[in-house]
């Protein structure tokens, strides 16, 4: 259960995130999925992916996607700011775990899945720390049959510790024990 609900936001501590990732790793194993590699969607997916590596012990590749145009205003569609190039040749025949911190609109996830599916992987599964319970704009392609979420949360803003300017204040709110419903 996510903790630290201030003004309708979820404040999550590093410890809470680490425990959610451990739960996620266990769920992936219990499901019988044995990924060969992680593809982390930056930047929100970087830290969850690194913690996941502690439990799954597989390499991480990273991609960067942005919703924002050069003028820093939201663009019409996600766009690549960094992509796997020679590494993408290694995706064929491999079992990929695509990792991000949050499944919000699902647009970024759909975009990445469609790109990665072009490289003939054996399988692609999705792992997110948090799935927001809401109507999604994006859809998971039918080839994606496994989807793992550490926690299902209401549609509120999630404050991650890595975004905090004042981590001491952030952790204090997160640990205050106020439980979000």
Query: Site map for ligand G4P, 161-180, x if CB under 6 A?
Result: --x-----------------
Q: Which of 71, 100, 104, 166 is catalytic?
A: 104
Q: Comparing C-alpha atoms, which of 134, 135, 137, 143 is closest to residue 115? A: 143
Counting contacts by CB under 5 A, is residue 78 touching Mg ion? no
The set of long-range contacts for 29-36, using a CB threshold of 8 Å and a minimum separation of 24, is 31/146, 31/148, 33/95, 33/97, 33/123, 33/125, 33/146, 34/95, 35/95, 35/96, 35/97, 35/125, 36/94, 36/95, 36/96
Contact range with ligand G4P by CB under 6 A, out of 18-26, 99-107, 116-124, 168-176: 99-107
Query: What is the total count of residues that contact ligand G4P (CB under 6 A)?
Result: 21
User: Per-residue x/- mask for ligand G4P, residues 2 to 41, rule CB under 6 A?
Assistant: ----------------------------------------
Contact partners, residue 30, CB within 8 Å, separation at least 6: none
Applying CB under 5 A, does 121 fall inside the site for Mg ion? no
Contacts of 127 (CB under 8 A, 6+ apart): 24, 28, 52, 97, 98, 99, 148, 149, 150
3-state class (DSSP) for residue 72: coil
**Residue from 35, 44, 121, 150 binding Mg ion (CB under 5 A):** 44
| 160 touches ligand G4P by CB under 6 A | yes
Count the residues of the shown chain that bind Mg ion, applying the rule CB under 5 A.
1
Shortest spacing between CB 51 and ligand G4P, in angstroms: 16
Active site residue 166: no
List the single partner that 171 binds among ligand G4P, Mg ion, none, CB under 5 to 8 Å by kind: none
Residue closer to Mg ion by CB (options 80, 120) is 80
Tokens, residue 10: 């979820």
CA distances from 83 to 80, 116, 144, 147 (A): 6, 10, 20, 22
Binder of ligand G4P out of 96, 104, 121, 170 (CB under 6 A): 104
Interface positions with Mg ion (CB under 5 A): 44
């Amino acid at each position: 259960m996510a903790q630290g609900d201030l003004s309708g936001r979820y404040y999550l501590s590093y410890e809470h995130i680490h425990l959610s990732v451990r739960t996620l790793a266990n769920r992936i194993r219990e499901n019988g999925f044995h990924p060969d590699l992680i593809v982390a969607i930056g930047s929100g997916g970087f830290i969850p992916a690194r913690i996941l590596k502690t439990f799954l012990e597989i390499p991480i590749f990273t991609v960067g996607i942005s919703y924002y145009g050069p003028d820093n205003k939201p663009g019409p569609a996600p766009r690549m700011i960094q992509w796997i190039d020679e590494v993408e040749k290694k995706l064929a025949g491999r079992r990929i775990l695509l990792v991000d911190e949050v499944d919000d609109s699902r647009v970024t996830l759909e975009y990445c899945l469609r790109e990665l599916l072009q490289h003939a992987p054996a399988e692609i599964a999705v792992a997110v720390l948090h799935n927001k319970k809401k109507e999604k704009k994006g859809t998971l392609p039918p080839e994606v049959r496994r989807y793992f979420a550490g926690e299902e949360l209401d549609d509120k803003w999630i404050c991650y510790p890595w975004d905090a300017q004042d981590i001491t204040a952030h952790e204090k709110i997160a640990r205050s024990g106020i439980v979000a419903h």
